[in-house]
Structure 1
Amino acid sequence: MPGRFTTRTLNISTGSAETVTDLTHACEQFLQEAAGGRDGLLNVFVPHATAGIAVIETGAGSDDDLLAALHTLLPADDRWQHRHGSPGHGRDHVLPAFVPPHATLPVISGRLELGTWQSVCLVDTNKDNPNRQVRLSFLG
C-alpha cells in the first residue's frame, strides 16, 4: 500500500511571556488518528519567523535552562538591525537559526518514537505575537 500524507494545523496561544510549550500530547493525539498503526515520519513545523521547534526534556528545569541560554546567546537589547516591536525583538528573528522551525521524528507502529525524557516543544521568545500555528504532518 502506498504511503499516505495527513496534515493538521494546531492553534497555540503562548501568551505574553517567552515560553517553551510542550506539544508532545498533541502530536500523539494526531498520530492516533493519522497513522493508523503505520510506520512513518511526523514533521512538526511552525510557519513563523520568530519561533522554533525543539526536542528537549521538560519539567525538570531544562525548558527554563533553554530560555536562559537563549537570553545569553541572543540578548533582548538594541544591538539588532531588525528593529520593530518590543525592544530587542530583532533577536526573535535570529532564533530560528538556533532553534529550527521544524523537526522530523520517527513513528513506529503509529507511535511517536521519542527517548524517555524527550518532548516535542514550541519555543517562542516573541512576546509581541501570542498566537501561533504549528503544522503536524504524517507521512507513512
Structure 2
Amino acid sequence: MESTVITVRTGGRPSVVDLTGQAADFVAGRGDGLLHVFAPHATAGIAIIETGAGSDDDLLTALDDLLPTDDRWRHRHGSPGHGRDHVLPAFIAPYATLPVLGGRIALGTWQSVCLVDPNGDNPTRQVRFSFLAG
C-alpha cells in the first residue's frame, strides 16, 4: 500500500474543500485498485458531493439545520456550539474508499471528493490518501 498525507487549509469558518484534483494526482499512473481518503480528525468528514453549483453551501446549511451551533451540546470546549462538530463524523464519515481504474478515480460525472470541516477552531487539517493496488 502506498500512502501520503496532504495539508488542507480550511480557514476559520465551516467549509467544504474539493480534494478531487489532489486525489487524482495521487493515483495517476497507478493502475487499478482502491483509493482510501481519511481525515484523522474528530470534527471533520469526507463526502462525495457535487461542488461549484451550490451543493457544498447547501451541505453546510443542512448541517446547521440538523446540528445547530447552540448551547444544547454537552461537549463544550472551543467556540459556541463546538459540540456539534464532534457529532459530525456520525453523519459524514471521516473516510471514503473509491475505485481506481487505469490510474483514474471512478467518480460519477458531478462527483467530487471533499473534506467537510464545520470546525472553525482548527484552520489546518491533514488528509491521508492511501492506494491499495488491485
Using the size of structure 2 for normalisation, the TM-score is 0.98
Q: Tell me what 2:10 maps to.
A: 14
Structure 2 unaligned regions, length at least 5: none
Q: Tell me what 2:35 maps to.
A: 42
Deviation, 1:32, is 1.6
Structure 2 counterpart of 1:87, from 59, 80, 90:
80
Structure 2 counterpart of 1:133, from 122, 126, 129:
126
1:25 equivalent to 2:18? Answer no
1:104 equivalent to 2:100? Answer no
Q: What do the CA deviations read for 1:69-98 (whole angstroms, capped 9, x no partner)?
A: 000000000000100000000000000001
Structure 1 unaligned regions, length at least 5: none
Using the size of structure 1 for normalisation, the TM-score is 0.94
1:119 equivalent to 2:112? Answer yes
| Paired-residue identity, % | 67
Deviation, 1:17, is 1.0
- Report runs of 4+ in structure 1 exceeding 3 Å deviation: none
> In angstroms, what is the RMSD of aligned CA positions?
0.6
Structure 1 counterpart of 2:58, from 65, 68, 71:
65
* C-alpha separation in 2, matches of 1:110 and 1:117: 19
* C-alpha separation in 1, matches of 2:66 and 2:13: 18
Counterpart secondary structure, 1:50? coil
